[in-house]
């Protein structure tokens, strides 16, 4: 037993990855010392102006930082904290709560495969395995299961960079990934955006299908030195 009164920070198991326990807990970053992309600052400030309490902008601000950095890296969180003038810890707490905010580096193309009950009844678990086999090792892709995405009418389905496609067959996996790699609209014929309502009595006449949706390309700044991608 050491007699020194100094406490050494613990990094024992149970801590969230995003929490850096070696840092002081409540320091709001000094704007002078944080390098800040101006576009990100402008976007976050825009969000903050929308609310009676600017703290409400935490989610849109973190989402903006994630679009820029690819994930909620410590640097991204520090930049958001700097603009919002809150502690990085409070934002890390938020980031770890939400499924769409990534707290470790991921591929820039997200493939969320819904494996909740309705999709699973229609073969989503096998579909997910196929996605993992086909793209699980590709660092460009973030293939993961997701809870109900609210599109059980096209089960089994996936959200690919925010574009809903389904009903997917196992033979759709490769063409889908090819579309993403080529930067094309993903499986245009299977996009939810195009579909008409299922209720046959809703429309009084035959209407054409809706336009195809294009994924918004993910911006990403150059990975800083030492940051693993």
CB 130, min distance to other proteins, A: 19
CB 141, min distance to other proteins, A: 18
Query: Of 62 and 173, which has the nearer Cβ to other proteins?
Result: 62
Number of residues that bind other proteins (CB under 8 A): 56
CB 57, min distance to other proteins, A: 6
CB 4, min distance to other proteins, A: 35
Q: Using CB under 8 A, which residues numbered 121 to 140 contact other proteins?
A: 121-122
Site string for other proteins, 11-50 (x = CB under 8 A): ---------------------------------------x
Q: Using CB under 8 A, which residues numbered 89 to 118 contact other proteins?
A: 93-94, 97-101, 112, 116-118
Q: In the beta sheet, which residues pair with residue 146?
A: 114
DSSP-derived secondary structure letter, 94:
H
| Burial of 151 (C-beta count, 10 Å sphere; 0-12/13-18/19+) | buried
Instruction: Give CA–CA dist 65/173, Å, rounded.
Output: 30
- Exposure string of 162-201, with b = 16+ CB inside 10 Å and e = fewer, is ebbbbbbeeebbeebbebbeeeebbbbebbbeeeeeeeee
Query: Structure tokens of 21?
Result: 């326990």
- Residue from 20, 34, 41, 55 touching other proteins (CB under 8 A): that is 55
Interhelix angle for 74-84 vs 38-49, to 10°? 50
- Residue from 56, 104, 174, 219 touching other proteins (CB under 8 A): that is 56
Instruction: Tally helices (H) and strands (E) across the chain.
Output: 7, 4
Smallest CA-to-CA distance from 156 within 199, 125, 135 is with 125
- Residue from 36, 193, 218, 220 touching other proteins (CB under 8 A): that is 193
CB 76, min distance to other proteins, A: 14
CB 155, min distance to other proteins, A: 6
The region that residue 14 occupies, defined by phi over 0 for left and psi between -120 and 50 for alpha, beta otherwise, is left
Q: Verify binding: residue 151, other proteins, rule CB under 8 A.
A: yes
Smallest CA-to-CA distance from 88 within 36, 27, 16, 15 is with 27
Can you give the binding site for other proteins, defined by CB under 8 A?
50-53, 55-60, 62-63, 93-94, 97-101, 112, 116-118, 120-122, 146-155, 159, 162-164, 192-193, 196-199, 201-205, 207-208, 210, 213, 216
């Amino acid at each position: 037993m050491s007699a020194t009164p100094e406490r050494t920070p613990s990094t024992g198991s149970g801590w969230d990855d995003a929490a850096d326990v070696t840092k002081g807990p409540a320091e709001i970053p000094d704007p002078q010392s944080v390098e800040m992309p101006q576009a990100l600052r402008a976007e976050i400030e825009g969000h903050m102006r929308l609310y009676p309490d600017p703290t409400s902008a935490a989610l849109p601000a973190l989402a903006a930082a994630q679009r820029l950095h690819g994930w909620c890296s410590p640097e991204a969180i520090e930049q958001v904290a700097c603009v919002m003038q809150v502690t990085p810890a409070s934002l890390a707490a938020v980031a770890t709560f939400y499924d769409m905010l990534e707290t470790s580096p991921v591929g820039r193309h997200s493939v969320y495969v819904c494996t909740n009950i309705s999709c699973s009844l229609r073969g989503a678990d096998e579909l997910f395995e196929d996605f993992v086999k086909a793209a699980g090792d590709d660092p460009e892709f973030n293939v993961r299961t997701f809870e109900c995405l609210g599109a059980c009418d096209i089960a089994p389905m996936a959200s690919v960079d925010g574009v809903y496609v389904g009903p997917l067959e196992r033979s759709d996996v490769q063409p889908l990934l090819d579309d993403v790699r080529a930067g094309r609209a993903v499986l245009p014929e299977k996009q939810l955006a195009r579909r008409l309502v299922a209720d046959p009595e809703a429309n009084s006449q035959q209407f054409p299908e809706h336009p195809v949706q294009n994924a918004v390309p993910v911006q990403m700044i150059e990975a800083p030195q030492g940051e693993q991608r």
